Amino acid sequence: MNVLVCIKRIPDIAGAVTLDGTGTGIDESGLGHAMSSHEECAVEIAIQTAAATGGTVTVLTVGPAEAVEQLRAAVAVGANDGILVEAAAPSVFGPEDIAQVIGDVVRDRAEAGQTFDLVLTGDDAADTGDFQVGIRLAYDLGYPVLTNIQTITVADGDNSSGTDPGGGERSSGSIEARGIGPDGTEIFALDLPAVIAVHEGGVDPRYPSITGRMKAKKAAIVEYDAPEPGTGNPRIRLELPEVKASSVTILGEGPEAAPALVDVLEEIGVIRP
């Protein structure tokens, strides 16, 4: 089963941020970059799924040239190759545009003979938090879509990579997906191809090995140029919340304060009867 994982290069913030000179973005100097944790889990799921079915994992990003670092980070943990859709200023794109760009690339790759049975995204990106790119992409591709998914199991009798590059009806097998619902874990069964948006927590993303990292350096990256955005980003500016001061309640000093803490623990309700 061939899996495409869509990831996004985001500033890796820890807490407090400051705004950049334009007021429309955060000051990224001194910040590292990463992919969102939902996407890290999506990559992990993709690697496990591909390994279980003898398939491949391709990672795709729409972003600046530097976003190749995130593609290589995914290759370092086990993805096979990458697609960089270069957009010098990704912030001018709205979620509709990103979905459109990815959809166009997926179709173009199909024409080039590279098809994907499963397209994974994160639920949302940790920076913009739009929660709609995966869904809009699915509509654009005409695929069913699930969100809030934490694990995927390939159903028995999977006909992996049974693809029809012509774009007609094709069955790439089916999967069972488990996700977060209001009453517990919801289980879905789905025929492929499909888009699935992943929520972190179901799998532990692996760290890269040294050999993985060495492989990543040499991985093939297909490059596209992103077209001008059609819809655009509705952002006017960014604002910062007011800083909260420490609100610690000192329960006391030394062992004498123990009862006060036990009161707190009782109130939270974590003491075993």
Buried b (16+ CB within 10 A) or exposed e, 145-172: bbbbbbbbebeeebebbebeeeeeebeb
Q: What is the CA radius of gyration of the chain?
A: 22
| Site for another protein, residues 140 to 179, rule: CB under 8 A | 144-148, 179
Q: From 244, 246, 257, 254, select the one nearest 265 (Cα to Cα).
A: 257
Residue number, 33 or 107, with CB nearest to another protein? 33
- Residue 234 engages another protein in binding (rule: CB under 8 A): yes
Minimum distance of another protein from residue 113's CB (angstroms)? 27
Pick one of 89, 108, 139, 165: the residue that binds another protein (CB under 8 A). Answer: 139
Residue keyed to tokens 């290589």: 72
- Residue 212 engages another protein in binding (rule: CB under 8 A): yes
Pairwise CA distance, residues 229 & 101, whole Å:
9
- Residue 135 engages another protein in binding (rule: CB under 8 A): yes
The contact pattern for another protein, residues 38-67, with x = CB under 8 A and - = no contact, is ------------------------------
Minimum distance of another protein from residue 198's CB (angstroms)? 12
Pick one of 92, 110, 180, 221: the residue that binds another protein (CB under 8 A). Answer: 180
Q: From 92, 93, 80, 83, select the one nearest 43 (Cα to Cα).
A: 80
- Residue 181 engages another protein in binding (rule: CB under 8 A): yes
Residue number, 112 or 240, with CB nearest to another protein? 240
Minimum distance of another protein from residue 246's CB (angstroms)? 4
Quick one: tokens of 107? 């179709």
Residue number, 21 or 184, with CB nearest to another protein? 184
Minimum distance of another protein from residue 133's CB (angstroms)? 9
Under 8 Å between Cβ of 13 and 119: no
Under 8 Å between Cβ of 33 and 72: no
